[in-house]
Structure 1
Amino acid sequence: MPKENKKRGRRAQKKRKHEDEEDVPPTKRQKSEDAEDEVKILVHGDGDLQERGQDAYTGPGEVPFYGLLSEDEQEYFKRADSLLELNQFADAEERNLFLANVYKEANGKELKIANSQSCSRIMERLMLMSSPAQLKALFREFNGHFLHLVQHRFASHCCQTLFRQSAQVVTDELLAPLEDQQKEMERGEPYVSMENLFLYTVNELEGNLGYLMTDQFASHALRVLLIVLSGQPLANTATTSLLQSKKKEKIDITGLTKSSDLGLQARTVPDSFQEAVDKVISGMITGLDTTYVRALAAHPVGNPVLQLLIELELSQYGRKKAEDTDSLFRKLLPDDSPEEGTDSASFINGLLYDAVGSRLLETIIRCAPGRTFKPIYRSLFRERLGSLARDEIAGYVVIRVLERLGKEDLEEAVTQICPQTGSLIERSRTTVIKTLIERCAVRGLNTKPIADALVEAYGEEPSARLSELLKLNITGNEGMSKERQLQVEAKDGVKLHGSLLAQAMLEVPGPLRELISQSLLATDTSTLVFMAKDRTATHVLQRSLTCSGQGNIFCRKILQKFLGHIADLAVDAVASHVVDVFWTASKGLQFIKERMAEELLEKEKALKESYPGRAVWRNWMMDLNKRRKSEWISKARGAQEKPDQSSKVGMQSQVISKSGIELARERFAGAKAGKSRNSRARVSTGANGAAAGVRVEEQGLAAGIWH
C-alpha cells in the first residue's frame, strides 16, 4: 500500500510555497543595505563566524552549473582512471599515447570532469602524469572559473593538484625559458608562461580572498597557492597539516617516481610571485581589526590560513614586519610587551588551552623574531612551564618554547619540568620529556636530573622499567589475528611515544643511555625476541645497537641473547630489519657473525621462500658464504655499514670490493693493453704494408700467448 505523506513532506511543501511567495536575492551572503558602519563579530562554541557590517566579506555569487557527463562518458573515464592508477603500460611511449587519447576525449569537458563526484579523480591522476604543456592547457580551461572551482567539494581538489604539479614548471621555465617558448611556437600556440598563469589566477581570486579563507573547500586551495607563490617546500612536514585535511583521499599512481626536489626543497620563484604573496596577504587582512582576526584564530578553517600567513610574514620580513602596526602579527598582538594584564597576554592565555587556537600560538612562537619572543617568554611562560607541560593542549606549546630557549633558560626549565615527570608519564605527555632531552643534548646540559626523575617514575627494576616504557604486551594479543594486532598497534599512540622517548635517550651518551642499555641487558631472551618482532619496540632495539659510541661489550651481550633465533627473526617482516642491523653491530665480533651465518645456512630453504628472508640472505651475502667462505670472512671482518636501514629491507645494493684474483686479472689486462699500444706506435712509423704485417704477427702472437 502507498504510504501516507509524513511530516517531512508537508514541511517541504510548505517551504516551497513560502519560497515562491518571497523575492529570493540572486546571490549568497549579500550585505544588508541598512547595515551599520561598525563590525560586530560573534564567535560561537563551534568556531563559526557571524559577521555583519560594511567590512564583512560577501560571497562571489551563485555557482554556475557546468553540466553533467553522460553515462558512456562516465564509464570511459572510470575505466581510464583504473588504467592510470595501475600504470601497467609497456613503456613511456604507450603511456603518453594513452594520455593524449584521454586528453582528446576530455577536450571541452574539463570543467564537467572536475565537478564530477565519480570522475574528478581521473583529473587529478592526469595532472600527476601530465607534461608542462598539458598542465598549461588545463590552466587555460580553468581560467575564469577558479573562483567557483576552488569552492566546489570535488573541483577544489583538482585545483590543489594543479597548483602542486605546476609549481616545478615555474622553476624550470626560469632556468630554460627559450626552450619552452620555442616548443609552443612550433605547435602554433601563443606562448604563455606558467608564471603568468599563476598571476592570472591570483588576479581572479583578488577581492574574494577574505571570504575564501574561511570557506570549507577554498581554504585548502588557497593555502597551496600561497605555498607555491612563496617558493616553500610543498612536502615539508611543517606544512603538510596546513595544506590538506587528514580525511583527504590520497590519489597516487602505482610505480610513479616523484622528484624529491619538488616536495622537500625550496624552489626558485620569480620576483613577481613575491609581489603576488604581498597582494594576497594584504587582500586578506585589509579592513580587518584585531577583534575579527582574533576570532579567526578560533575558527577551524580560518586558523590554518592565519598560521600560514603569519609564517610567511615573519619568515620573509622578520623583525621589520613584527614591528609594523599594519601587519597581521600586530593585529593579533598589538602590545609591544605582552605582560600579564595586557590585552595581548589575555589573548595568548586563551589560545594556550584552545585546541584550534594553540596551533596558531605554536606558529607565532616558532617564527617570531628573538626580540619579540623573549618578552613573551619572560612574562607568560617562564614561571609556568611545569604546570603548562601537564596540560593536554598547552604541552605542545611548551615544546615549541623549549626549542627556542638558550642554555640558561633551558637549565631553569629542567628544574621546573623534572619534578613533574611522574605526572607527565601518568598523563602520557612523554613528548615534552623527549623534547627536553633533545634540547639538553644540543645545548650541552647535564641530563642526570632527567635520568633520576625517569628512574623515580618508572621504577628501579631495569626490565620492568623498559616494559612499562614501551608498553610491552607479550600475552595480551595472543588470541587476535595478525591483521587485528596491526590495527591495535597502529592506534596505540602511547606506545609510539614511549618508543620515541627511549630512542631519544639512547642518542644521548651518559646516564640516559645507560638506563635503556641496562634495561635491555636485564631483559630475558623471549622478551627481546618479542621486541624484535614488535613494530614499535623494534626501533629501540635497532637504535641501541647502531647509536654512535655504543661499545662492543654491550653489542656482544645483546647479540649472544639472539643466538638460536636468527632464522626465525629473518623470515619475519619486522624482525628482519633487526637481523640486518646485526651485520653492522657484530663488527669486531667475528665469531658471533659466523655463528649467525651458520644459522641462516641451516634454514636456507625457509629463507628463500620468504621475501624478508631473501632480503636478509642477500644483505648477508650468504651465496658468497656458501661458495667462497674465506672471501666472505675477509669481507665480514672489514665490513662497514652494509645494509642501509633508512630504506626497506633488501632494496639496497651492496658495494662489494674486488677480490685479489680480480685485481690480478685487471693488472694483467692493463699491462697487455699498454704493450699492444707501444707496439702499434713503433710500427706506425714504417710503411703501411710492413706495419700491417707486423700488426697481424703481433695479434697472432698475442692470441697464442692467451691460449
Structure 2
Amino acid sequence: MPKENKQRGRRGEGKRKREPNANEEPVGKRLDVGGISFVGDTTDSFVPPPFTEEADGRPFYGLLAEEEQEYFRRADELLELNDFPSDEDRSLFLANVFKEAEGKELKIANSQSCSRLMERLILLSTAEQKKTLFQKFSGQFLHLIQHRFASHCCETLFIHSAPIVTQELTEDEPAPSGEVYVSMENSFLYTLNELEGQIGFLLNDRFASHALRVLLVVLSGKPLAKSSTKTLLQSRKKENITTPGFKSSAEELSLEARAVPSSFQDAVNKFISDTSAILDETSIPVLSCHQTANPALQLLLELELTRPTKAKDLAPEASGSILKKLLPDNIETEGSASAAFVSGLIYESIGSRLLETLVTYAPGKLFKQIYRSTFKDRIGALARNEIATYVVIKVLERVSREDLEEAATSIIPQIPSLVERNRTTILKTLLERTSARRAEKSTAAITTAIAEAYGGDPATLLLKMTNTTKTAPEAESAEKAEPRQDLTALHGSLLAQSMLAIPGLPATLIQDSLLRLDLPTLLHLACTTTTSHILQAALIPTDPSSPSNPGSANNAPFRRKLVNIFLADPTSIITLATSKSGSHALDAFWDGTQGLMMLKERICSILAGSMTELRDDWVGRVVLRNWMVELFVRRKVDWIAKVKEGEGGKTVAVAAKEEEGEATDTKKPFPAKTGKGPAKKAGDGKSAIQLAREKFAAGKSKGEMKVVRGKGTGANAGMIKSR
C-alpha cells in the first residue's frame, strides 16, 4: 500500500517553522460564518440569509434557483432574437418577464448568466420602470458598481435614464395623486449621495471606474453616443447589448448635448472638488499613469476646463481645481514642478492621454505657455516618437499659422523616417491644418516630401502607400472571408483620402497615381474594403465656386478618364456590382459621372444587360435599386429626369429611395411622368396627371362645359366632351 509522502527530520521541521502563518490553526475548506456551519447544508431546503456578507465585505444577495436561471436565460434569448408574431405578443411577454423578475432584481444583476437580461430589460423598460429599478438598487449602488456583472447593469441604467431627465425638464409635473412622485433627477441625486466620500478608491477600481465615468457624463449633459465619449465610458472589450428592431424615443436624445438641471452641474463641481482634495504630490503621478484611473481623470479635467462658469473659476488659481494640482506653478520656469510633470507624461503610453486632454481644452494663455516651454523647440524630435506623436497631433490642431509653418519646417526632414515606420497620421493632420490655415507653401513642401518618401514614381505611389502587392482580385476571394485589416493599408488609405480632399498639389498627386494604374489593379483597389474608400473619395465632384472648397479645380476631366478605364472592359462593372466593397465604389460612380450623362448611360446599360445575374446576388440587387436600372429599362425618359434631379443635389441613394417611395404610394411600378413646359413651372414639380386633376376639379366647381379636340379612334373619333 503506498505511503503518504512526508518530509522528515530536522530540516523539514525547520522549514515548516519558517513558513508564514505557521502558528495559525488550519482552516477548513468551508468557512464558519457567524456561527453557522455550511458544511452539511447542501439540501434544497437550505436558503442562505439575505444580504449576508461575503469574504471581501460585500453583501451577498442570494442565488437564483436553477428553474429561474433557465427561465431568464430563455427570455434573454427570445428578446435578443426579437422573433415575435406582433408587438402585442412582445409586450405581453415583456410584462410577464418583469413580473417574474420582481423582487429578484439584485440577484439577476449579480448573476453571470442573467445580467445580460437585466441590461436588455432596461433598454425595453419605460420611464416608470427605470425609476422602480433605481429604488430597488437604492442603498446598494456602492457595491453594485464594483461588481463585475452588476456594474454593466448600472451603466446601462444611467445611460438610458439620462434622456428622461431632459424630458422631465420640459414637461409639466404630474397632477398630485396618492402615490409619491420621484423625478429621475432625484433618483440620480440619491445615487450620488451613496457614493459621496468614496471617490478616492472608486477612481481606480476595475469596474466602478467605468460606472463613475458614465455618471459624470450623464451629469454634465455631454452626448452619450458620440465616439469620443464612448472611448472614455467603456473598454474595447465591452459587449454591446442591443435589441433588434427596437428604438426608443429617449435614445434619440443621446446623440446630442442634453439639457440638465442646475443640481447636476453642482454635483459635477463637487466631484471635481473632491477629486482635487485627494490629489497630492504622491498620488498625481500614480493616478495619471494608472490604466483605470487615467480615463476618469481625463474626463474630470475636461469637465473642469469646459464647464459653463465664470472665467475666474477656470483659472489655475481657482480653489478645488484639478488643473491647479496638476500644474501648481509657472510651466515656463525651468525646473518647475509643472514642467517636470508635462515632460514626464509625453513619453508615457497612458499618461500621454491626460496630456492630450490638457492640450486640447486648456485656456489659450496656458496652451501658449505649454507650447513655448515644451513643444516649440523639439517638435520634430517628438513627432518621431511612437507615443509623443499623438500629443503633437493635438498641438498642431491648436497652434497659429506662424507656429504651424515653423512646426512644418521642423517635421518635413522627418517625413522619410515617418513613412518608413508607417506613422502617417501626423502627416495627415499636418496637411489638413496647413490647408485650413491657408499655408500653401507648407502644404506643397509636405506633399513633395511625401511623394519623395514613397519613391517619387506616380505609377507606384498609391501601391506603396496602401501596401498593395496584388494586381487583380482573386476569383475565390468573394466567397472567402476577408483577411484581417492591414494597418499599413488603413493608414495609407486615410492619408490618400485626406490628400484628395485638399485642393492643389495633394489632390493632383493622388489623381495622377490613380490614372497610371491599370484596370486589374484598380479593380483590386475597388474590391478591397480599405482601399475602396480611395476611389470613392476620388470620384466626389469638386465645385470651384463653392465657398467651402476655395481654390479647388473642377475634377470632371479626371473623373471622365477614371471611369473610362473601367468602361474599357464591361465585365469590370459587373465585378464591382457583385463585390461587397466594389459595390460602394460603383455607387460612387453615380456622383462621379455628374455632368457626364453618356458615361452614366453606358454603365446603366451594362447593368441592364446582366440583370438576371445581378438579381441572384444580394449585393447586385442593391446596385440595381441604387442605379434605378428597372426604370432605365422600361421608361428611360423618367430615368433621365431622375438623373437630372439627382445632379441638382441628391445622391444616388436618396434618388433611389424617392423612386421606390413614389412607386409604393401610387401602387404602380414606376412614378408618373412629370409635367413639361409651362405646366411644370406652374405646378411646382407636380406631375401631369396631378395638374390635370386640379384643372378638372376647378372646371367642375364652376359648372363649365368644355369641348376638347382629341385624336380618338373608332366611335371616339372627332369630338370628345368632358364635364
TM-score > 0.5, shorter chain as reference? yes
Distance 1:332 1:25 in 2: 46
Please report how far the alpha carbon of residue 679 of structure 1 lies from its aligned counterpart in structure 2 after TM superposition. Answer: 4.0
For CA contacts below 8 A with separation 6 or more, give which structure has more relative contact order. 1
CA contact (8 A) 1:507 1:547 kept: no
Q: Which of 70, 76, 83 is 1:88 aligned to?
A: 83
The yes-or-no answer on 1:402 pairing with 2:396 is yes
SS in 2 for 1:290: coil
How many Å separate the matches in 1 of 2:60 and 2:366? 50
Judging changes above 3 Å, is the alpha-carbon distance between structure 1 residues 125 and 641 closer, same or farther for their aligned structure 2 residues? farther
- Mapped to 1, the partners of 2:6 and 2:434 lie a distance apart of 68
Query: Which is further off, 156-165 or 443-452?
Result: 443-452
* 1:635 CA drift (Å): 3.5
Partner of 1:297: 288
Q: Secondary structure, in 3 states, of the residue corresponding to 1:537?
A: helix
Q: Counterpart of 1:660 in structure 2: which amino acid?
A: G
Aligned partners of 1:15 and 1:641: how far apart in 2? 88
> Comparing both structures, which one devotes a greater share of its residues to helix?
1
Question: Residues 670, 71 of structure 1: CA spacing in aligned structure 2 closer, same or farther, 3 A cutoff?
Answer: same
* 1:485, distance to aligned residue in structure 2 (A): 5.4
2:469 to 466, 469, 473: 473
Of 285, 288, 298 in structure 1, the residue corresponding to residue 276 of structure 2 is: 285
Confirm whether residue 321 of structure 1 aligns to residue 314 of structure 2: yes
CA distance in 1, matches of 2:653, 2:691: 37
1:266 aligns with 2:273: no
2:214 is aligned to 224
In structure 1, list runs of 5 or more residues that go unmatched.
27-58, 681-703
Aligned to 2:640: 633
Secondary structure, counterpart of 2:335 in structure 1: coil
- Distance in 1, matches of 2:674 and 2:339, equals 71
Q: Distance in 1 between matches of 2:456 and 2:76?
A: 59
Taking structure 1 as reference, are residues 273 and 526 closer, same or farther at Cα in structure 2, changes over 3 Å only? same
- Seen in structure 2, the aligned counterparts of structure 1 residues 152 and 579 have a Cα distance that, compared at 3 Å, is same
Query: For residues 353 and 130 of structure 1, what CA distance do their matches in structure 2 show?
Result: 46
Q: Which residue of 2 aligns with 1:544?
A: 538
**Closer, same or farther: CA 128–280 of 1 in aligned 2, 3 Å:** same
> Relative to structure 1, is the Cα distance of residues 650 and 453 closer, same or farther in structure 2, using a 3 angstrom cutoff?
farther
The reply to whether residue 74 of structure 1 matches residue 78 of structure 2 is: no
Q: Which amino acid counterpart does residue 278 of structure 1 have in structure 2? A: N
Contact persistence 2:472–2:520 (CA under 8 A)? no
Partners of 1:280 and 1:660 in 2: CA distance: 65
CA offset digits 1:618-674 (Å, max 9, x no partner): 111111111122332344355327875899998996887952387332222112212
Q: Which residue of 2 aligns with 1:700?
A: none
CA RMSD of aligned residues (A): 3.2
Pick the aligned partner of 2:691 from 658, 661, 667: 667
Residue 237 of structure 2 aligns with which residue?
Answer: 247
Task: Please list every run of 5 or more consecutive structure 2 residues that lacks an aligned counterpart in the other structure.
Answer: 8-15, 35-53, 544-553, 663-670, 677-685, 705-719
What's the secondary structure of 1:384's corresponding residue?
helix
1:241 CA displacement: 1.2
Instruction: Identify the match of residue 576 of structure 1 among 583, 593, 599.
Output: 583
Deviation at 1:228, TM superposition (A): 0.2
Distance 1:65 1:641, change over 3 A: farther
Distance 1:466 1:128 in 2: 46
Alpha-carbon distance in 2 for matches of 1:6, 1:243: 54
Q: TM-score, normalised by structure 1?
A: 0.85
Measure the CA separation in 2 of the matches of 1:448 and 1:466.
Answer: 18
Summarize the alignment of residues 676-691 of structure 1 with structure 2, pairs less than 5 Å apart.
676-679=700-703
- Single out whichever of 643-652 and 518-527 deviates more from structure 2: 643-652
The farther-off stretch of 317-326 and 636-645 is: 636-645
How many Å separate the matches in 1 of 2:599 and 2:259?
A: 52
The reply to whether residue 558 of structure 1 matches residue 565 of structure 2 is no
Q: Does 1:107 align with 2:102?
A: yes
Q: Report what 1:51 is aligned to.
A: none
Distance change >3 Å, CA 17–CA 252, structure 1 → 2: farther
Distance in 2 separating the partners of 1:614 and 1:479: 20
Deviations 1:668-692 (A, max 9, x none): 2112212233349xxxxxxxxxxxx
CA shift for structure 1 position 315: 0.5
Q: What SS is found at the alignment partner of 1:546?
A: coil
- Asked if the contact 1:643/1:652 (under 8 Å) is kept, the reply is no
- Alpha-carbon offset, residue 327 of structure 1: 0.9
Q: Distance in 2 between matches of 1:372 and 1:436?
A: 22
Corresponding residue for residue 177 of structure 1: 172
Which whole-Å CA distance do the structure 1 matches of 2:89 and 2:98 have between them? Answer: 14
Structure 1 residue 159, shift from structure 2 partner: 0.4
Q: How far has the Cα of 1:582 moved from its partner?
A: 1.0
Distance in 2, Cα, partners of 1:151 & 1:99: 28
CA gap of 1:624–1:646, structure 2 versus 1, over 3 A, is closer
TM-score (norm 2): 0.83
CA contact (8 A) 1:566 1:599 kept: yes
Post-superposition offset of 1:295 = 1.8
Give the counterpart of 1:614 among 621, 629, 645: 621
Counterpart contact for 2:330–2:338, Cα < 8 Å = no
Q: 2:416–2:453: 8 Å Cα contact kept in structure 1?
A: yes
> What letter is aligned with 1:17?
E
Question: 1:693 aligns to what?
Answer: none
| Aligned-residue offset at 1:5 | 8.7
Instruction: Tell me, yes or no, if the aligned pair for 2:138 and 2:191 is still in contact at 8 Å.
Output: yes
Secondary structure (helix, strand or coil) at the match of 1:354 reads coil
- 1:211 pairs with 201, 206, 217, which one? 201
d(CA) in 1 for partners of 2:585, 2:448: 30
Letter in 1 for 2:468: L
Shift of 1:320: 3.0
Give the direction of change, closer, same or farther, for the CA distance of 1:640–1:150 in structure 2 (3 Å limit): same
Output one character per residue of 1:258-301: Cα deviation in whole Å (capped at 9) or x when no partner: 66643320001011111111122222332432331232101111
**Alpha carbons of 1:269 and 1:419: their partners in 2 closer, same or farther (altered >3 Å)?**
same
- Alpha-carbon distance in structure 2 between the residues aligned to 1:520 and 1:300: 44
CA distance in 2, matches of 1:646, 1:376: 48
C-alpha contact 1:477 1:485 (8 A) present in aligned 2:
no
Distance in 1 separating the partners of 2:656 and 2:262: 44
1:449 to 403, 421, 445: 445
Q: Is the 8 A contact 2:379 2:410 kept in 1?
A: yes
Q: Secondary structure of 1:124's match?
A: helix
Give 2:675's aligned amino acid.
Answer: G
Q: For residues 264-413 of structure 1, what are the structure 2 equivalents within 5 Å?
A: 264-316=255-307, 317=309, 320-323=313-316, 324=318, 326-413=320-407
Structure-2 change in CA distance of 1:373 and 1:319 (3 Å): farther
Contact kept in structure 2, 1:232 and 1:266, CA below 8 Å = yes
Count how many residue pairs are aligned between Structure 1 and Structure 2: 641
Q: Structure 1 residues 595-604 or 624-633, which shifts more?
A: 624-633
Distance 1:530 1:6 in 2: 70
Read off the aligned partner of 1:85 and give its amino acid letter: E
Any conservation in 1 of the 2:627–2:656 contact (CA below 8 Å)?
no
Shift in Å, 1:415? 0.6
Cα distance in 2 for residues equivalent to 1:546 and 1:263: 31
Of the three residues 128, 152, 157, the one matched with 2:152 is: 157
After superposition, give the CA deviation of every residue in 1:442-480 in whole Å (9 maximum; x if it has no partner).
111111111111111011211211100111131699699
Change (3 A) 1:516 1:191: same
- The residue aligned with 1:256 is 246
| Change in 2 beyond 3 A, CA 1:395/1:332 | same
Contact 1:571 / 1:612 at 8 angstroms: preserved in 2? yes
The offset of 1:321, in angstroms, is: 2.6
Distance 2:185 2:557 in 1: 60
The answer to whether the 8 Å contact 1:615/1:649 transfers is no
8 Å CA contact 1:448, 1:512 repeated in 2: yes
Amino acid at match of 1:672: F
Shift of residue 517, structure 1, vs aligned partner: 0.4
Pick closer, same or farther for the CA change 1:471–1:244 going to 2, 3 Å.
same
